[in-house]
Structure 1
């Protein structure tokens, strides 16, 4: 699985909004500056998040963006799907739509298992979890293996 720059920036923007959830709308310029992201690119991402129902926006001097729901009810998977589409695909195709034959026949269950594992992690972590630096125990446990931090 590869996390695109678009998905990474979308999650980071959503986290900025989660952190400011009680302070009112946040301007796109402020998010872009705090995350070191291109303002123009971020505006496009925020518009996708708005169309996807994850954020609201208001124009004007007191305008900006805010989460459409509490941060605890928005998973990281929700944000990635709105910004970038399916969490796991093979050649741009969702695994259940694939078929293999011969020696590669058992490849499909591998892709399905990978998708299930990615979903389990990303759907199980909310914006509130990340913004508060309190990841679920099962996710934190995965990071405790030293090989998780190294390149093979």
Structure 2
């Protein structure tokens, strides 16, 4: 799987917003500066997150961005879907919509299994957990295996 810059930036922006103990709105400029995200790119991402009802914008002098939902109710999967679409797609189609001839039919099962594995991780981790620096044990257990850190 390839994580897009858009998904990475969206997650980092949400972590920055959710980490605010006072819950006050955070300006896009401040989020961009703290997370080193280009302002123009960030504006589009924030708009995507607003359309997905993950963020809310507040206008005015003390305006900015704040969570529209509780950060513990927003998963990594929710964010990726909001900015990039489905977790797994095969030339733009969801895996269950792809069809192959009998020789390649099992390939669809590979795509379905890959999506299921991604969900196992991405749906378990919330923005709140990331903002607090605490991951579920099942996730930290996956990273404890040295093989997980090796590129192949």
Name the SS for the 1:26 alignment partner.
coil
RMSD across aligned positions (CA): 1.1
Deviation at residue 108 of structure 1 after TM alignment: 0.8
Deviation at residue 22 of structure 1 after TM alignment: 2.9
Distance 1:137 1:13 in 2: 24
- The answer to whether 1:8 aligns with 2:11 is no
**Distance change >3 Å, CA 21–CA 10, structure 1 → 2:** farther
User: Is the CA contact 1:21–1:66 (under 8 Å) kept in the aligned structure 2?
Assistant: no
- The answer to whether 1:32 aligns with 2:25 is no
Deviation at residue 23 of structure 1 after TM alignment: 3.3
Deviation at residue 86 of structure 1 after TM alignment: 0.5
- The answer to whether 1:58 aligns with 2:55 is no
Q: Following TM superposition, where does structure 1 have runs of at least 4 consecutive aligned residues deviating by more than 2 angstroms?
A: none
User: Is the CA contact 2:23–2:66 (under 8 Å) kept in the aligned structure 1?
Assistant: no
Deviation at residue 130 of structure 1 after TM alignment: 1.2
- Taking structure 1 as the reference length, the TM-score comes to 0.96
- Structure 2 partner of 1:134: 134
User: Is the CA contact 1:21–1:67 (under 8 Å) kept in the aligned structure 2?
Assistant: no
- Taking structure 2 as the reference length, the TM-score comes to 0.96
What are the ranges of 5 or more consecutive residues in structure 2 without an aligned counterpart?
A: none
